[in-house]
Structure 1
């Protein structure tokens, strides 16, 4: 009698989302592609994530940001840049599950009290249809069993997208863009965002959180640009 189980298993075996080979990895990425991903070096500055031989970089020493630490999964390079752009601009929301699952393996959340996705202005949400940082944070908090603090912080200024501006203009563009309530008093807050470039948005949000009483702010980003 024909045994259909091995045949069925072969049909159902997932293929790699990057090369379409058989994905032996549980996250849908084959072993070769997994190894070749642009993983963030462990030797980066613990505060801002930029290359610094594992020590706090000169910039953070001379002009410390308001956030206390940065954990980035990847460098913003191929194919991670393409995956994040697909999530953000092509509504590929299934990729949020992938990044959340990878985050679970690479971030420590033992002392984190709550998770805050980078807030998006309501007008921008209406235009795009969703907040990619919220989609990431929802899946991360579900896996980590941490509170999602979306109702305690809002973006009150509808500023031009940071990516459309020169680096020197990003700090002034994002100034006073957020408001937070006293929910964060004494808490260690993890901010979730897709990409960290200049860090201006994350720094302004961390500044607002600290002003609202947060004890510590850590940035959890999927990718970090150099």
Structure 2
């Protein structure tokens, strides 16, 4: 029912529901809930480590950390830095079910990832079923679904499963985060994986969650795993 209502209201269009900026409430620009001024201020992550997506003073193939300890992923496409207004828009979707924020973010992600190396499929990081029941929706999937549609990519929505519940990563330091997600994922039975996939999540901080999922995919025979995220801390 939630999906039906969301599609219905999205289909009404700006004639009945004029676009308003979700950041400042001024009139939106084009078919986005974002005004021209707030769009100019978006924290695009153009200067970043190509391997882990870490914001840098200038673009580089690898940051110092990746030079010393190469990560499992081949590349990371982090569209934004986790800064205003992303640090408000993403929580509105993640914790408050704000479908308008999700629609805006998905449109911006499709724009930011249009030129990225194209994987054969997009694989979202899943929530554990207990957290999914509590929240009622999976924010990564809610962003990945329209993103895959916009970029004409197959979406393997059920390829990964969380085999056990984990503590919220935001409450842990870097070392604890790695231990928290170790062994947390499993592959769905009988899933066929292509040689090149992009793992998708909403926010990347230390990268522990994405790295654990990427290692599982590599062990399963995936030759190349890229990381796609909305924002990089």
Structure of greater Rg: 1
Q: Is residue 28 of structure 2 the alignment partner of residue 23 of structure 1? A: yes
Tell me what 2:37 maps to.
32
Whole-Å Cα distance in 2 between the matches of residues 191 and 100 of structure 1? 15
Tell me what 2:132 maps to.
125
Q: Is residue 41 of structure 2 the alignment partner of residue 50 of structure 1? A: no
| Aligned match for 1:222, one of 194, 212, 230 | 230
Whole-Å Cα distance in 2 between the matches of residues 173 and 138 of structure 1? 27
Q: Residues 10 and 90 from structure 1, CA distance in 2 versus in 1: closer, same or farther, beyond 3 angstroms?
A: closer
Tell me what 1:115 maps to.
122
Whole-Å Cα distance in 1 between the matches of residues 95 and 15 of structure 2? 33
Whole-Å Cα distance in 2 between the matches of residues 212 and 11 of structure 1? 49
Residues 20, 34 of structure 2: 8 Å contact kept: yes
| Aligned match for 2:192, one of 183, 188, 193 | 183
Tell me what 1:62 maps to.
68
Q: Is residue 172 of structure 2 the alignment partner of residue 168 of structure 1? A: no
Residues 162, 185 of structure 2: 8 Å contact kept: yes
Give the CA deviation at 1:214: 0.9
Whole-Å Cα distance in 2 between the matches of residues 49 and 80 of structure 1? 16
Q: Aligned pairs, how many?
A: 215
Aligned ranges 1:203-214 → 2 under 5 Å? 203-214=211-222
Give the CA deviation at 1:17: 1.7
The SS at the match of 2:227 is strand
Q: Is residue 87 of structure 2 the alignment partner of residue 81 of structure 1? A: yes
Structure 1 unaligned spans of 5+: 1-8
List structure 1 segments (4+ residues) > 3 angstroms apart after TM superposition.
9-13
Structure 2 unaligned spans of 5+: 1-13
Residues 201, 230 of structure 2: 8 Å contact kept: yes
Residues 114, 187 of structure 1: 8 Å contact kept: no
| Aligned match for 2:111, one of 82, 96, 105 | 105
RMSD of the TM alignment (CA)? 1.9
Q: Once the two structures are superposed, what CA deviation does each residue of 1:126-148 show, in whole Å capped at 9, x if it has no partner?
A: 11111100111111111122111
Residues 19, 32 of structure 2: 8 Å contact kept: no
Give the CA deviation at 1:93: 2.4
- TM-score scaled by structure 1? 0.88
Q: Is residue 160 of structure 2 the alignment partner of residue 153 of structure 1? A: yes
Residues 116, 191 of structure 1: 8 Å contact kept: yes
